[in-house]
């Protein structure tokens, strides 16, 4: 594989984490515009852990997931009392707060005569664990897709379990779920924390792939894309968000047919799909049909 293909496949894998994070919240009935904030928390946490304290990436990724889950839990405590558009606005505000905190964050250590660490708007350079440990691009690609495969398997197991049914019921009819004895608020808070951890894992891997992060990486554009991927790909299965990412980055970007106009095409595609297939290409009905036909 050439560098370009490896790069595109790595990006598809990385962005899939945040797309799955948005998907998880959507099927639980909440639309978050703020998952990029937790992606950023994961990126900064893992970057600080490996570049400043020499912690191995696997441990740093776990720390990042913990930080992402904690941040999402704390954001969820007040915001999950809100519904619909108000929740979406509150999550966007929270993500912007995280971005501003990253802009104000100056926390550096002197390593080999160089200051390393977050330097506000100047960004955070020197997240070199991957290079210092001789990980080739193909190796990092395998790491990203290996982690993604593990996450997808977990999703599939949950979707086929009682927990998955509860999750879908929560999204479809929270009042019915409450009447059946489910503590809706507590359940949604748990889902928000897991979604935060998932986004943070993607952020941790992204920081080490890029070696440089800055607050602007985590602005609303990333959040909108993550939601769009879930909505384009479909909400019927965990493969929906992956299909969304594949359509945008794999087909539109990979083919370079539309070049600078890609964002216009992407926006048009989202609008068209929301009209024609409001729950995406792989919606529940299509997934059910596919299962009956091929299972």
Task: Using CB under 8 A, pick the residue from 74, 89, 142, 169 that binds other proteins.
Answer: 142
Task: Using CB under 8 A, pick the residue from 77, 86, 138, 180 that binds other proteins.
Answer: 138
Beta carbon of residue 19, minimum distance to other proteins (angstroms, whole number): 11
Beta carbon of residue 196, minimum distance to other proteins (angstroms, whole number): 18
When the beta carbons of 185 and 253 are compared against other proteins, the nearer one is: 253
Size of the site for other proteins (CB under 8 A): 56
How large is the angle between the packed helices 35-47 and 220-233, nearest 10 degrees? Answer: 120
Beta carbon of residue 182, minimum distance to other proteins (angstroms, whole number): 36
Q: Does 133 interact with other proteins (rule: CB under 8 A)? A: yes
Question: Which region among 72-80, 111-119, 233-241, 269-277 touches other proteins (by CB under 8 A)?
Answer: 111-119
Question: Which region among 23-31, 83-91, 161-169, 203-211 touches other proteins (by CB under 8 A)?
Answer: 203-211
Beta carbon of residue 128, minimum distance to other proteins (angstroms, whole number): 7
Sign, CA dihedral 204-215-17-166, equals: positive
Burial 90-112 (b: 16+ CB within 10 A, else e): bbbebbbebbeebbebeebeeee
When the beta carbons of 8 and 74 are compared against other proteins, the nearer one is: 8
Q: Does 277 interact with other proteins (rule: CB under 8 A)? A: no
Q: Does 33 interact with other proteins (rule: CB under 8 A)? A: no
Site for other proteins in 208-267 (CB under 8 A): 210-212, 214, 216-217, 219, 221-222, 225, 248-249, 253-254, 256, 259-260, 262
Question: Which region among 1-9, 76-84, 157-165, 181-189 touches other proteins (by CB under 8 A)?
Answer: 1-9
**Three state DSSP letters for the chain:** CCHHHHHHHHHHHHHHHHHHHHHHHHHCCCCCCCHHHHHHHHHHHHHHHHHHHCCCHHHHHHHHHHHHHHHHHHHHHHHCCCCHHHHHHHHHHHHHHHHHHHHHCECCEEECCEEECCEHHHCECCCCHHHHCCCCHHHHHHHHHHHHHHHHHHHHHHHCCHHHHHHHHHHHCHHHHHHCCCCHHHHHHHHHHHHHHHHHHHHHHHHHHHCCECHHHHCHHHHHHHHHHHHHHCCCCCHHHHHHHHHHHHHHHHHCCCHHHHHHHHHHHHHHHHHHCCCCCCCHHHHHHHHHHHC
Task: Using CB under 8 A, pick the residue from 63, 64, 141, 243 that binds other proteins.
Answer: 141
Q: Does 125 interact with other proteins (rule: CB under 8 A)? A: yes
Interface residues with other proteins (CB under 8 A)? 3-4, 7-8, 11, 14-15, 54, 56-58, 111-115, 119-123, 125-126, 128, 130-136, 138-139, 141-143, 146, 206, 210-212, 214, 216-217, 219, 221-222, 225, 248-249, 253-254, 256, 259-260, 262
């Amino acid at each position: 594989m050439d560098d370009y293909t490896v790069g595109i496949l790595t990006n598809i894998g990385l962005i899939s984490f945040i797309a799955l994070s948005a998907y998880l919240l959507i099927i639980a009935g909440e639309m978050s515009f703020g998952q990029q904030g937790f992606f950023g928390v994961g990126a900064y946490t893992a970057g600080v852990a490996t570049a400043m304290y020499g912690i191995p990436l696997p441990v740093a990724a776990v720390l990042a997931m913990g930080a992402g889950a904690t941040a999402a839990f704390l954001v969820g405590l007040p915001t999950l009392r809100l519904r619909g558009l108000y929740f979406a606005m509150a999550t966007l505000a929270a993500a912007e707060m995280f971005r501003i905190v990253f802009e104000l964050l100056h926390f550096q250590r002197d390593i080999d005569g160089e200051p390393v660490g977050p330097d506000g708007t100047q960004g955070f350079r020197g997240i070199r664990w991957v290079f210092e440990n001789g990980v080739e691009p193909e190796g990092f690609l395998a790491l990203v897709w290996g982690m993604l495969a593990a996450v997808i398997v977990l999703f599939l197991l949950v979707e086929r379990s009682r927990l998955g049914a509860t999750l879908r019921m929560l999204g479809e009819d929270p009042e019915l779920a409450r009447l059946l004895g489910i503590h809706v608020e507590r359940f949604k808070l748990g889902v928000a924390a897991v979604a935060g951890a998932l986004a943070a894992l993607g952020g941790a891997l992204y920081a080490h792939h890029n070696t440089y992060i800055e607050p602007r990486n985590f602005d609303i554009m990333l959040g909108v894309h993550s939601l769009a991927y879930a909505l384009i790909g479909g909400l019927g299965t965990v493969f929906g968000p992956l299909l969304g990412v594949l359509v945008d980055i794999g087909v539109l970007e990979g083919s370079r047919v539309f070049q600078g106009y890609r964002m216009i095409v992407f926006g048009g595609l989202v609008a068209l799909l929301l009209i024609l297939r409001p729950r995406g290409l792989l919606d529940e009905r299509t997934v059910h049909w596919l299962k009956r036909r091929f299972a």
